Structure 1
Amino acid sequence: MTTTITPPSGAAEQAPSEPPARRRHAVTRRRRGNGRFVAACLLPALALFALFMIWPTLSVFRMSLYTWSGFSPKMRFVGLDNFTKLIDDQQFLRAFQNTVALLVIVTVVTMGLGLSLAAIMTRQKLRGRNLYRFILYIPNVLSVVVIAAIFSAVFDQENGLINGTLRLLSLDGLQQVWLGDQGVVLWSVAIAMVWQALGYYMVIYMASMASIPEELYEASALDGAGAGRQFFTITLPLIWETLRTTLTFFVLSAVNLSFVLVRAMTGGGPDGASDVLLSYMYQQAYTNSSYGYGMAIGVVIFAFSFLVSLLVSRATRRQPLQY
């Protein structure tokens, strides 16, 4: 008599577990597939970046080692002679000084006013606050060339707004040739740069300040802290990362902004008094037919911008605060 053992009711046969080697192979194959997909998505962007950023940058470095008019097929290798000439070029040194002066003045004024206005409009109950914000933000919407045209009219010697107002107030002695005087032309360009950028950074700081909990200010007020103390001990530390990012971005963008405003407002004059690095590079490369020399100035601008951004990043690095 044969006895058949029947498994308990409801028990299911369990398939043998998958070998570990096969599981590892499946995971590896899946990861490779994901990697190929990511690479396929990134490849077009990397190709465009290499074509329009890396290759032109390398070309600038290469052309800085040659003497070339920009039009002639003849190019002569001169090594570092173009950079040696820069050391003795007084106009280049003047343009470099103007660039540094504009960066320092415009950055300090723009960041300071932007933070102050943002704190006032965020913390104070102002009537028409949205209207003020809109008015201050308008310059950022306008083209830089339009802003240059506006300030060229404002600083006009005969019919400009400033000299006209001074004449109306019988303050003729304070009138200036704003864009024709070597002593004030750089300040005129700086005013235009501040006016163009102020509203944009004010709005960014307002958005960052609006995220700070109100309870922190209420607690500090109970402890006797005033508005100024609250700004430096609560507001500024909690938006520090935003300030650090915008500071680096502004310093780099100001180099380009100064070039456009100088070319449109003064053309680098009078007698090169308002020249900045980019305008002097443009003049040498495309006006004086010294393309190789202009590219050497471009290399200096690249190194200068990289160094400034690195210094700003290192100088403003600190442990972020959380709330």
Structure 2
Amino acid sequence: MATTTTERESTAAGSGAVPARDRLTWRERALFTAAFFLPPRLTPDRVRYDRRYRKLDQHRFIVWFLVPPVLIYLVFVISPFLQAFYYSMTDWSGFDSEFSFTGFDNYERMWHDEKFWDAMGNSVLLLVLGPLITLALGLFFAFMLTAGGRHRRSEPVSGIRGANVYKIVYFFPQVLSIAVIAVMWGRIYSPHGGIVNETLGAVGLDSWKQEDWLGGDLARWCVLAVLCWSFVGFYVVLFSAAMSAIPTQIYEASLLDGAGRWQMFSRLTFPLTWDTIRTGWIYMGIQGLDGFALVNIMVPEHGMDVVPSYLYKKAFQEAQAGYATAIGVALFLVTLVFALIMLLLGRRDRIEM
């Protein structure tokens, strides 16, 4: 028995083959390709009135809508990264237009550079401990301001009295520029008349006084303390806003179940604000990896280096821009790996409220 046209088309659809009427000849394919790049007014009528043109028109709108931002991103973001990788394999001085290609010599030199690894160690220390300490303090203060007060009859949870004033006080370092903070703390750590040494002497701890707080092994811990102090207020306000968005009915239910403050924080507040915490961890980690202005202004020369300050010295003080660019590529890879690890480890089921 001869098969009908409908049966042949259904058989072709079931086998995954394209029906004969939907197949494009090479001339139709050329017309549709040209129509993709033409405005609707200039589209040939043969294509415009084809039922397949509607799908092409949808894709054309999406593509042309995305082309400008993608081009801007490629020119101003991707292109500098590619140029940096190229210059990292040259002996460019940074002040001369002539340079030669050296391959991976800069990366081999960086691998054996002890000062670079000292700077990388300091940056990794700020990367790990900076977010850990800052976010822990931010969570603690935010929870105390939001739900650390005495229980009131009209509210299941309440913050401490004067919470808004404390938020302003905590947030105050964010108003100051990083240069002002570095200069101020440089004077605080000064061995001659600095507040730290004077306070230790006033309380009878003269043996704890140091002749050089910002030199040697103590420098990294002093910089870490200033880094945490300068950013903790921002996270107090950020986490307070996230905690205030949690419905009070959830806290009421937990109180009826007999939950204490620690159970409320660990079982409710922390999971419900996890997305904000993860974002803050990435942002604070990038701030810890930077640390250029803080170290370059506050710490005396040769006191300590982080990767950005070491890069600056090689590029602008020693005219080794090619080697400095290789250091910048290494810093970019460390930042990228850190962000990817945090996004992967921080992934968890989203809780809808």
Quick check: TM above 0.5? yes
Matched, 1:88 2:112: yes
Matched, 1:112 2:136: yes
Query: Aligned with 1:107: secondary structure?
Result: helix
Cα offset, 1:147, TM superposition:
0.8
Cα offset, 1:170, TM superposition:
2.6
* Aligned residue identity for 2:228: V
Match of 2:22 in 1: none
Match of 2:65 in 1: 38
Cα distance change, pair 178–130 in 1 and its aligned pair in 2 (3 A): farther
Instruction: Extract unaligned runs of 5+ from structure 1.
Output: 1-20
Q: Distance in 2 between matches of 1:123 and 1:297?
A: 45
Q: Distance in 1 between matches of 2:230 and 2:81?
A: 28
Preserved CA contact (<8 Å) 2:223 2:294 = yes
Cα distance change, pair 66–27 in 1 and its aligned pair in 2 (3 A): same
Matched, 1:156 2:190: yes
Alignment of 1:1-323 (within 5 A): 22=49, 24=51, 27-28=54-55, 31=58, 34-35=61-62, 38-39=65-66, 43=68, 45-124=69-148, 125-256=159-290, 258-267=291-300, 269-270=302-303, 274-323=304-353
* Aligned residue identity for 1:132: Y
TM-score by length of 1: 0.85
Q: Distance in 2 between matches of 1:36 and 1:98?
A: 45
- Bigger CA drift: 192-201 or 24-33? 24-33
- Quote the RMSD (CA, aligned, Å): 2.0
CA distances 1:36-72 after superposition (whole Å, capped 9, x unpaired): 7724xx61x4444333322221111000101122223
Cα offset, 1:140, TM superposition:
1.1
Aligned length: 296
Preserved CA contact (<8 Å) 1:63 1:292 = yes
Cα offset, 1:255, TM superposition:
1.7
Cα distance change, pair 101–36 in 1 and its aligned pair in 2 (3 A): closer
Q: Which runs of 4+ in 1 moved over 6 A?
A: none
Q: Distance in 2 between matches of 1:178 and 1:222?
A: 55
Q: Distance in 2 between matches of 1:297 and 1:228?
A: 44
- Bigger CA drift: 153-162 or 225-234? 153-162
Q: Distance in 2 between matches of 1:218 and 1:150?
A: 45
Preserved CA contact (<8 Å) 2:130 2:284 = no
Instruction: Extract unaligned runs of 5+ from structure 2.
Output: 1-47, 149-158
- Bigger CA drift: 162-171 or 275-284? 162-171
Preserved CA contact (<8 Å) 2:130 2:285 = no
Preserved CA contact (<8 Å) 1:180 1:269 = no
- Bigger CA drift: 59-68 or 167-176? 167-176
- Bigger CA drift: 299-308 or 29-38? 29-38
Preserved CA contact (<8 Å) 1:240 1:320 = no
Q: Distance in 2 between matches of 1:307 and 1:63?
A: 22
* Aligned residue identity for 2:307: L
* Aligned residue identity for 1:65: M
Cα offset, 1:149, TM superposition:
1.0
Q: Distance in 2 between matches of 1:130 and 1:319?
A: 33
Cα distance change, pair 69–33 in 1 and its aligned pair in 2 (3 A): closer
Q: Distance in 1 between matches of 2:135 and 2:59?
A: 47
Query: Aligned with 1:65: secondary structure?
Result: coil
Preserved CA contact (<8 Å) 1:262 1:268 = no
Preserved CA contact (<8 Å) 2:215 2:300 = no
Cα offset, 1:286, TM superposition:
1.2
Cα distance change, pair 223–162 in 1 and its aligned pair in 2 (3 A): same
Q: Distance in 2 between matches of 1:93 and 1:30?
A: 55
* Aligned residue identity for 1:246: G
Q: Distance in 2 between matches of 1:300 and 1:73?
A: 24
**How high is the sequence identity, in percent, across the aligned residues?**
32
Q: Distance in 2 between matches of 1:50 and 1:26?
A: 30
